[in-house]
Amino acid sequence: MATNSALTAFSLDDFEARSGSATSIVRTITGLYLRENSDLVSRNVLLELALAAGISAPSAQTAISRLIDKQVLESSAASMLRVPDSAQAMFERGIRRIFTPRQMSETDQWCLVTYSLPETMRSLRHQIRKHFQQLGGGLVSAGLWIFPEYLREEVTAVLIALDARQQATLFTTSQPHFPISAQHSAQQWWDLARLGSLHEDFLDSTTDLDPKAQDPATAYRGYVVMVDAWRKLPYLDPGLPAYMLPAQWPGLASRDRFLTLSQAFRDTAGQFASSTLSR
């Protein structure tokens, strides 16, 4: 299996960390603000940004060390930090996903991926399954996955990074013919109960955020917490068309909430972060 920079970038994605934890918050701050900073950043400055987001100093210090160990951050002897190239690629892909959540229409096309791997390549099967789930893929049957067609490039990139492109065939199709119904198939192919629960958690965690808040520190904290609670959802949720979703699907409300709060907080939060980074 490949051990290249592309695979490293995919492997740096972390969807298991609990949203709101110190490590998750510091990772979110790194992706939002350190990624765009061309200069080395003092560890103390990142600590200050973490404190402003509501993380205690001991927890933030531990989180920074963990992200250095995970190669999301790189530290110099003088306790100066930078985002390494592999993490830059991971964050850049994440920014596109997080801030442009997509929803399929009834006429959008699908991408099917099929492959057959021998038992001796079980570890590769595991890696494909892991990364395909994290891209929002639906498992139709063993060795057959379905994605919205707009995810095809990311699917191909994963296969290339895993040295599995030659074992896989991709098809573009306009209309699956479901065995029972579209909604039944969606429930079989994706874990909609878990996805719905994650959307409800996001809505619950952002209920008290005021989009009219103008205080820079308040806007910054609200923005970081909100993005942290949201950031894995546009990966795990592929944006299925309405005809495949249950009634009262919470993903629509959470998407609207994210876009509203993001627009309200982004500029003021960015000003607060920039002033902190420039000290």
Q: What is the mean pLDDT of each run of 10 residues along the chain (279 residues)?
A: 51 65 94 87 96 97 94 87 88 86 93 93 91 94 96 93 94 93 96 96 94 90 96 93 94 95 95 91
Rounded CA-CA distance 102/91 in Å is 18
Residue 38 lies in a domain: yes
pLDDT value, residue 4: 53
Residues 80 and 145 occupy one common structural domain:
no
Residues 62 and 128 occupy one common structural domain:
no
pLDDT value, residue 10: 57
Rounded CA-CA distance 201/225 in Å is 13
User: Any alpha helices (H) in 135-215, and if so which ranges?
Assistant: 152-161, 182-189, 192-205
pLDDT value, residue 78: 77
Residue 183, CB half-sphere, CA atoms under 13 Å: how many?
7
pLDDT value, residue 3: 44
Residue range(s) defining the domain that contains residue 15 = 5-99
**The two structure tokens encoding residue 26:** 């510091």
DSSP 29: H
Residues 147 and 232 occupy one common structural domain:
no
Domain end, chosen from 173, 205, 224, is at: 173
Residue 22 lies in a domain: yes
pLDDT value, residue 2: 44
> By three-state DSSP, how is residue 81 classified?
strand
**Domains in the chain: how many in total?**
3
**The two structure tokens encoding residue 259:** 């876009």
Residue 186 lies in a domain: no
Q: What is the distance of C-alpha 190 from the center of its chain?
A: 17
pLDDT value, residue 249: 95
